Amino acid sequence: MTPEFITYAFAFPILGVFIGLAYKGIDRRISARLTSRIGPPIRQPFWDVGKLLLKETIVPENAVAWIFNAMPLVAFASSMTLLLYIPFGILKAPLEGYGDLVVILYLLTLQSLAMAIGGFASGSPFSSVGAQREMVLMMSYEMPLATVIVGFALVYKSFSLTTIATTPVWTMVGPLAGIGILLLFIALIIVTPAELAKLPFDIAEAETEIAEGMLAEYSGRNLALFYLSDAVRGFALAAIEVVLFIPFTLSSIFNLNLTGASLYIVEGLWFLFKVLVLYLLAITLVRTSFARFRIEQASRIFWVYVNIIALVGLALVWMGV
């Protein structure tokens, strides 16, 4: 491994934590403004994490202690590892070539699974109900997510995100397959708030119904790790969607002749801007516009409507390719 690779492999996850918390703050601020409130300052998530790290970590008497304490670490580690598979701007992903989209699917599932297992291990009835809801919801939206990955594998004959980022999918397909890719994009956008447990799919953590559900018994450092994991995963999922569907660089759009450090800075900022726009559209706007669904409503949406959209898109991609 080169020194540049090692530096990037350590720097990008740290940067991802900072950006994830910043995007979370922007999300809360804009959501408040859309509902005619002032909202918290953008730096509020940083304060929240700092405050949680200073608080006492309490383990419930009826909890399976080692599982209860291990699951926040698993969730945070899976989110941080996820960042290592994402090409940042024009930079290659540190773990490029080691499974990519397939491993990303497992890592996304692992964090949700860790939260559910932690909820079951807490011994709280509220957490158990939340964990059951999370498992049902996870089984509902994983199918469309896997369908999107299969669609890209058909086009590229590869699971590499770096390959996809360097050759935009829209230049690889004809009109028929292009419509299929658009349908896959729509399916993934609908899956996004459910994957991140945001309204209208925050059924497993419904505060007014089951008192935060899976997280009801978590506090201190453990809750801070789950909070950081959620922030990182939100940024990572939006970044993956940008790489898959909007990988166009600023240099290619405006024919800029940039070289050296200026090229990396400009393309890096352009990448972060695209991620922020998609984050606001797929998460902030959706969670501000819809009330929480019931679990049977959410399951029906994914098993029927989103699956139909994704499968039709996959069929069109297959015929077009």
| Residue found by looking up tokens 């990448």 in the block | 271
Q: What is the mean pLDDT of the chain?
A: 87
Task: Please name which of 121, 138, 119, 139 lies closest in space to residue 129, comparing C-alpha atoms.
Answer: 119
Q: Supply the DSSP string of 270-287, one letter for each residue.
A: HHHHHHHHHHIIIIIHHH
Locus of tokens 């039709």: 312
Respond yes or no on whether the N-terminal peptide bond of residue 200 is cis (omega within 30° of 0): yes
Lowest mean pLDDT among 22-26, 28-32, 65-69, 212-216: 212-216
Q: Please write the tens of the pLDDT for every residue from 168-203.
A: 888 888 899 999 999 999 999 999 998 888 888 888
Q: What is this structure's pTM?
A: 0.91
pLDDT at 273: 93
In sign, the C-alpha dihedral spanning 145, 231, 103, 168 is positive
> Which of 100-109, 122-131, 208-217 has the weakest average pLDDT?
208-217
Amino acid 3: pLDDT: 61
**HSE-up (13 A, CA, CB side) for residue 138:** 19
Taking only the tens place, the pLDDT of each residue in 253-298 is 777 777 777 888 888 889 999 999 999 999 999 989 888 888 888 8
Structural domains in the chain (count): 1
Cα dihedral: 238, 241, 242, 244 (round 10): 160
End-to-end CA distance of the chain: give it in Å, rounded: 37
**Has residue 1 got a pLDDT over 60?**
no
pLDDT at 2 over 70: no
Structure tokens at 267: 């393309």
- Cα torsion at 135, 137, 143, 147 (round to 10°)? -130
Q: What is the pLDDT of residues 73-125, one digit of tens each?
A: 999 999 998 888 888 877 777 777 666 788 888 888 888 899 889 988 988 88
What is the pLDDT, as a whole number, of residue 254?
A: 74
Average pLDDT over residues 34-53: 91
**What is the number of alpha carbons within 13 Å of residue 233 lying toward its C-beta?**
27
Q: Answer yes or no: is pLDDT of 224 > 60.
A: yes
Range of the domain at 96: 3-320
35 vs 181: CA distance, rounded Å: 33
Q: Report the pLDDT value the prediction gives residue 185, as an integer from 0 to 100.
A: 95
